[in-house]
Protein backbone atom coordinates (compact mmCIF):
# COMPACT_ATOMS: atom_id res chain seq x y z
CA UNK A 1 0.00 0.00 0.00
CA UNK A 2 1.43 3.39 -1.00
CA UNK A 3 0.86 6.47 1.15
CA UNK A 4 1.25 9.90 -0.46
CA UNK A 5 0.08 12.20 2.31
CA UNK A 6 2.05 13.10 5.41
CA UNK A 7 -0.39 11.36 7.75
CA UNK A 8 -2.01 8.69 5.54
CA UNK A 9 -0.19 5.78 7.22
CA UNK A 10 -1.26 6.97 10.68
CA UNK A 11 -4.85 7.37 9.54
CA UNK A 12 -5.01 3.87 8.09
CA UNK A 13 -3.39 2.47 11.26
CA UNK A 14 -6.02 4.22 13.40
CA UNK A 15 -8.80 2.91 11.17
CA UNK A 16 -7.53 -0.67 11.58
CA UNK A 17 -6.87 -0.38 15.33
CA UNK A 18 -10.29 1.18 15.98
CA UNK A 19 -12.02 -1.23 13.57
CA UNK A 20 -13.73 1.80 12.05
CA UNK A 21 -15.00 1.97 8.45
CA UNK A 22 -13.54 5.47 8.12
CA UNK A 23 -11.23 7.83 10.00
CA UNK A 24 -10.53 11.53 9.47
CA UNK A 25 -7.37 12.88 11.08
CA UNK A 26 -6.44 16.54 11.45
CA UNK A 27 -2.93 17.31 12.66
CA UNK A 28 -1.78 20.74 13.80
CA UNK A 29 1.92 21.21 14.38
CA UNK A 30 2.80 17.53 14.11
CA UNK A 31 6.28 16.17 13.45
CA UNK A 32 5.43 16.19 9.74
CA UNK A 33 3.81 19.63 9.86
CA UNK A 34 0.14 20.52 9.57
CA UNK A 35 -2.06 18.19 7.58
CA UNK A 36 -5.10 16.03 7.31
CA UNK A 37 -5.94 12.60 6.00
CA UNK A 38 -9.10 10.59 5.42
CA UNK A 39 -9.16 6.81 5.04
CA UNK A 40 -12.04 4.43 4.48
CA UNK A 41 -12.69 0.81 3.68
CA UNK A 42 -15.90 -1.06 2.96
CA UNK A 43 -16.27 -3.37 5.95
CA UNK A 44 -19.85 -4.31 5.14
CA UNK A 45 -20.97 -2.23 8.15
CA UNK A 46 -20.83 1.15 6.44
CA UNK A 47 -20.00 2.61 3.05
CA UNK A 48 -16.85 4.75 3.48
CA UNK A 49 -17.70 6.87 0.42
CA UNK A 50 -21.03 7.75 2.02
CA UNK A 51 -19.28 8.57 5.31
CA UNK A 52 -16.60 10.67 3.58
CA UNK A 53 -19.31 12.44 1.62
CA UNK A 54 -20.78 13.59 4.92
CA UNK A 55 -17.48 15.04 6.14
CA UNK A 56 -18.22 18.66 5.13
CA UNK A 57 -21.46 18.57 7.16
CA UNK A 58 -19.73 16.88 10.11
CA UNK A 59 -16.85 19.37 10.07
CA UNK A 60 -19.25 22.34 9.87
CA UNK A 61 -21.10 20.98 12.89
CA UNK A 62 -17.81 20.55 14.77
CA UNK A 63 -16.71 24.09 13.87
CA UNK A 64 -20.06 25.54 15.00
CA UNK A 65 -19.83 23.63 18.28
CA UNK A 66 -16.26 24.80 18.92
CA UNK A 67 -17.21 28.39 18.14
CA UNK A 68 -20.21 28.21 20.48
CA UNK A 69 -18.01 26.84 23.28
CA UNK A 70 -15.45 29.60 22.76
CA UNK A 71 -18.14 32.28 22.87
CA UNK A 72 -19.55 30.79 26.09
CA UNK A 73 -16.08 30.89 27.68
CA UNK A 74 -15.66 34.55 26.74
CA UNK A 75 -18.92 35.38 28.54
CA UNK A 76 -17.76 33.76 31.80
Residue range 8-51, pLDDT digits in tens:
999 999 999 998 888 889 999 999 999 989 888 777 767 767 77
Domains contained in the chain, number: 1
Cβ-contact 46, 20 below 8 angstroms: no
The rounded distance, in Å, linking the Cα atoms of 76 and 69 is 11
User: Is 1 inside any structural domain?
Assistant: no
Say if residue 68's pLDDT is above 80. Answer: yes
> Taking the model in full, what pTM does it have?
0.70
- Which pLDDT band, with edges at 50, 70 and 90, does 53 fall under? confident
User: Is 2 inside any structural domain?
Assistant: no
Q: Where in the sequence is the domain holding 66, given as residue range(s)?
A: 8-75
User: Is 53 inside any structural domain?
Assistant: yes
DSSP letter for each residue of 22-76:
EEEEEEEEETTEEEEEEEE---SS--HHHHHHTHHHHHHHHHHHHHHHHHHHHH-
Amino acid sequence: MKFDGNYDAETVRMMVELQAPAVALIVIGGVKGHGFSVAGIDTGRADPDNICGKLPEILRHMADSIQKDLEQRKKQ
